[in-house]
Amino acid sequence: MPLPRTRGTALRHRLAELRGPDVPAKALDARALAALAANPGCRRRAILDGAGVNKTALASALGSPSAFGQSQFALTRGNAFEAKVKADGGAELLRLVHEKLDRAAEPPAHARVPELTATGPEGRTARTALALREAIEAPGEWTLLDHPMLALDVAGSPAFLEPDAVVVHPDGSWTVVEIKSFPMLDGSADPAKVGAAARQAAVYVLALEAVAARLESTPRVRDRVLLVCPKDFSNLPTASAVDVRKQRAVTARQLERLTRIEEIADTLPAGTCFSPELPAAELTAAVESVPATYAPECLSACELAFHCRARSLESGAVTSLGRSVRAELGGLTTVEDVLSAARGESGDPDDPAVAALRRAAQLRAEAVAGCR
């Protein structure tokens, strides 16, 4: 929900201060918004993204450059595959949508593919909204929107998002299509990559829902998206329907939290600034003043991962061992606490985590003794 004007203006001013004088805001794209859902508890990422800080530049200035992002080779390969999927007016793409999501509808022998070019992101967003409205006024027809532009309100400012495609079904419902260049082997793909694609698609679903809410007929945005990938080791497209309800709910919650980033900003010391122009020591202190919840998943989702991992390892935090380990260890937050509890030097013996650690330590000691 957009912020009231005065509150929104004050927040934008505060976020500009955090970003640094004359540092332009880095626009959030769907990949960045989706990554928020990969680590929903991280206040550091929330404030940096909310303030539009360029985290790639920040990571370099901190001395831990990011290795995050797609290589040029992967981008070129992805673009070539997408062009193949959308060839002939999207005939193959529409066939896959029909087969995987809407077999009851008439097969898409002919489809409308409206022209979506316009000036600037605002113009393209308006053109997309118009095309979607026209599509639902043509019931019984399939419509393919190739690279539409959607806007999503993030912390009071619009983030412009560009899904690979949106399909309007003959019943007027809308489906998000994600085209990826990682392979689908025997009908299934790498779960981590599918998860990342699902989170990204969930952001588009939210943005489409915002468009739908403004239309009188409020068309249904389908919560199953179509993921299109190369089949096995070929360049032929295959597809799978992916349910993104969970990712949609997590991302919606995260975005709501982002619109309250003033709460995080209020906890920061006066004068805190994340400008990459600052000396490394000052910048490190600013970044460390915001709590982070590092997890190994950050390595594939956040530009600051190397910095946060180093800090997490330095402090012996169990979060660097992964979320599942952290959850198993309950209130034991450092490796030192864990070892001390296992040795019987600290910890409540009635705590199930402490009891399990002591039992594991005992079994290990017996096994080691048996090997001697």
Burial call 97-111: b when 16+ CB within 10 Å, e when fewer = bbebbbeeeeebeeb
Name which of 345, 343, 348, 321 is nearest 333 in CA terms.
321
CB of 350 to ligand SF4, least distance (A): 32
Closer residue to ligand SF4 in complex, CB, 212/321: 321
Report the distance separating Cα 137 and Cα 132, nearest Å. 9
CB 36 within 8 A of CB 254: yes
Closer residue to ligand SF4 in complex, CB, 3/305: 305
CB of 365 to ligand SF4, least distance (A): 35
CB of 160 to ligand SF4, least distance (A): 23
Name which of 333, 346, 339 is nearest 360 in CA terms.
339
Closer residue to ligand SF4 in complex, CB, 81/294: 294
Name which of 268, 186, 278, 175 is nearest 227 in CA terms.
175
CB of 206 to ligand SF4, least distance (A): 20
CB of 12 to ligand SF4, least distance (A): 22
Report the distance separating Cα 352 and Cα 334, nearest Å. 17
Report the distance separating Cα 173 and Cα 312, nearest Å. 46
Report the distance separating Cα 233 and Cα 75, nearest Å. 18
Closer residue to ligand SF4 in complex, CB, 288/351: 288
Name which of 35, 37, 50, 34 is nearest 203 in CA terms.
34
CB of 7 to ligand SF4, least distance (A): 26
Closer residue to ligand SF4 in complex, CB, 39/247: 39
Closer residue to ligand SF4 in complex, CB, 149/292: 292
Residues at the interface with ligand SF4 (CB under 6 A): 39, 42, 44-45, 292-294, 298, 302, 304-305, 308
